Amino acid sequence: MAGESANWWQTGVIYQIYPRSFQDSNHDGVGDLRGILHRLPYLEELGVDAIWLSPIFTSPMADFGYDIADYTDVDPLFGNLADLDSLIDAAHRHQLKLILDLVPNHTSDKHSWFVDSKSSRNNPKRDWYIWRDPAADGGPPNNWLSEFGGSAWAFDPNTNQYYYHTFLSAQPDLNWRNPAVRDAMHDVMRFWLGRGVDGFRVDAVWYLIKDDQFRDNPLNPLFQPGGLPRDALIPFYTADLPEVHEAITGMRRVLDEFPDRVLLGEIYLPIERLVAYYGRDLKGVHFPYNFALLTAKWEARSLAQLIDEYEAALPSGGWPNWVLGNHDRPRLATRVGPNQVRVAAMLLMTLRGTPTLYYGDEIGMQQAAILPEQVRDPFEKNVPGIGIGRDGCRTPMQWDGTKSAGFSEADPWLPIADDFREVNVNSLSKDKGSLYWLYRRLIDLRRKHVALAEGSYKPLMASGELLLFYRELRKERVLIALNMGPEPIAVSFPEERVSGRVLLSAFADREGEEVSASFDLRGNEGLVMKLDSDRRDN
């Protein structure tokens, strides 16, 4: 439990911005840093505590910024270094922390390190990347597969070797077994931390180290034809290797040279392996992102089980976190459906741990329909028809009902979702009963009630469509009741002598209502209730 000395990254709410899609300020149809700066008052009003920007560094944009050609400069599409400095300052003036995306696993093939590495076998940078001779038949050195389809090896005819890429061939993997690579990435971190950045979300960090004997990955016996091509193999020798933890500890050491910063890891692994990324003595990432809710069955009992498993797996002192949306997965509002978006908001903001809110989810932006000719995502292009939906969840922020939703005066790089005339910040902020206002109130409640921000999690009941739990810190106890279905539920609280009052209803119309050991929930309703403390103190 965080207790008295909780850090900002524990009590706060993180808001993820996909910079290409937040706000365009120079009329080229792509969002930029000045656009974000212009929208800081919106974020302050919403009440979030930190923003994380997906990559804004110099990039050919093969993977929309996750292919970096210069780690210490800003891509002209987004602005320049001075714009970023202004944004850091302005964010801090608005009481917002600023987290950057660090992409240490791979660079762009246009990065000067790779250009040098590729130029000859003797180049001093050759060993900064992973080069191997062809197999006997001239093909790739082993069976390793790219996350984005096809072999993970690309042939360079000039030097007659293959290089390894976890993602696109335009994203060659750095060789993290080489100390010079680590040093270079540590310097990148110091560059940004020295400029006042509050931390990093570290991309694809569980892939950093690969088997040094380059053994074939085993076949996946559960693979079904039609599945993602990469799932044909189990990534036993290419992901989550034990040595990765040492690499992360090295990054953490650099981060700790600066006070009050945070290191967050992007890691898609089952819970029991995920939690290892807190590191020995909690000297790994401050938290590995917990993506369990992105694919969870939206059903009370499964959710309760998942929460229990996660809580039980956390190492002592390891701080939890929850995510309901990001730039790689279909939009929340579409996944859970319009009736459950409010319940989802309540769950995200009342579970124990740091919530990360994906831009637009606070207004219920839907997964946008993308026509085949509108596809921009290289993953989708590599494996047509996979329907991974990364374009549909990255469409421009819907600010108002004017052309291009107030995002840009030019044609936006991705289409605006069809519903933007109704679903936009301008109209939702005028309606106190809207989803937007529910998020605002929930964020505000977290600030006001320490039990919500820092208290322990106590499961009470998960049955049928009802999920019931409370959060507790010292004498404060907050009860959360979520109805995950359309029918009303008569809740009978299992403890005797319960009394309290409603702090917030999903429909914002029961605040102050008294509650006792039994109360009613309408269909798709959630309630946050403060319980009176005339009970045992513990």
- List active site positions: 203, 257
Compute the distance between CA of residue 534 and CA of residue 101 in angstroms, rounded to an integer.
47
Long-range CB pairs of 459-462 (<8 Å, 24+ gap) are: 459/304, 459/307, 459/308, 460/493, 460/494, 461/494, 462/300, 462/301, 462/303, 462/304, 462/305
Of 63 and 240, nearer to ligand NOJ (C-beta) is 63
Q: How far is the CB of 139 from ligand NOJ (least distance, A)?
A: 25
Of 25 and 321, nearer to ligand NOJ (C-beta) is 321
Number of residues that bind ligand NOJ (CB under 6 A): 9
Compute the distance between CA of residue 31 and CA of residue 61 in angstroms, rounded to an integer.
14
Of 109 and 465, nearer to ligand NOJ (C-beta) is 109
Q: How far is the CB of 180 from ligand NOJ (least distance, A)?
A: 22
Give the SS3 label for residue 202: strand
- Among the listed residues 32, 173, 198, 203, the single contact to ligand NOJ using CB under 6 A: 203
Q: How far is the CB of 231 from ligand NOJ (least distance, A)?
A: 16
Compute the distance between CA of residue 459 and CA of residue 36 in angstroms, rounded to an integer.
39
Q: Which residues on adjacent β-strands are paired with residue 50? A: 14, 97
Compute the distance between CA of residue 501 and CA of residue 532 in angstroms, rounded to an integer.
8
Within 28-152, strands assigned E span: 50-53, 57-58, 70-74, 97-102, 131-132
The interface with ligand NOJ within residues 255-274 (CB under 6 A) comprises 266
State the Cα torsion 109-114-119-125 to the nearest 10°: -170
Assign 3-state DSSP to the chain and report helix, strand, coil percentages, each to 5: 30, 20, 50
Of 245 and 327, nearer to ligand NOJ (C-beta) is 327
Does 443 sit near ligand NOJ (CB under 6 A)?
no
Tell me the two tokens of residue 469: 């739990």
Q: How far is the CB of 293 from ligand NOJ (least distance, A)?
A: 16
**Per-residue contact flags (x/-) with ligand NOJ for residues 367 to 406, judged by CB under 6 A:** ----------------------------------------
Q: Which residues on adjacent β-strands are paired with residue 162? A: 132, 155
The interface with ligand NOJ within residues 466-495 (CB under 6 A) comprises none
Residues 6 or more apart from 146 whose CB is under 8 A from it? 152, 165, 166, 167, 168, 169, 230
- Among the listed residues 167, 291, 358, 436, the single contact to ligand NOJ using CB under 6 A: 167
Q: Closest CB to ligand NOJ belongs to which residue?
A: 66
Of 19 and 500, nearer to ligand NOJ (C-beta) is 19
Q: How far is the CB of 379 from ligand NOJ (least distance, A)?
A: 7
Of 20 and 471, nearer to ligand NOJ (C-beta) is 20
- Among the listed residues 98, 204, 416, 480, the single contact to ligand NOJ using CB under 6 A: 204
Compute the distance between CA of residue 288 and CA of residue 263 in angstroms, rounded to an integer.
9
Of 392 and 406, nearer to ligand NOJ (C-beta) is 392
Q: Name the DSSP class of 151.
A: B
The interface with ligand NOJ within residues 48-77 (CB under 6 A) comprises 63, 66
**Per-residue contact flags (x/-) with ligand NOJ for residues 325 to 344, judged by CB under 6 A:** --xx----------------
Residue keyed to tokens 């400029």: 195
Q: How far is the CB of 105 from ligand NOJ (least distance, A)?
A: 7
Residues 6 or more apart from 447 whose CB is under 8 A from it? 47, 453
Q: How far is the CB of 235 from ligand NOJ (least distance, A)?
A: 14
Of 377 and 454, nearer to ligand NOJ (C-beta) is 377
Provide the terminal-to-terminal Cα distance of the chain, rounded to the nearest Å: 14
Please, where are the H alpha helices in 123-168?
none
Residue ranges in contact with ligand NOJ by CB under 6 A: 63, 66, 103, 167, 203-204, 266, 327-328
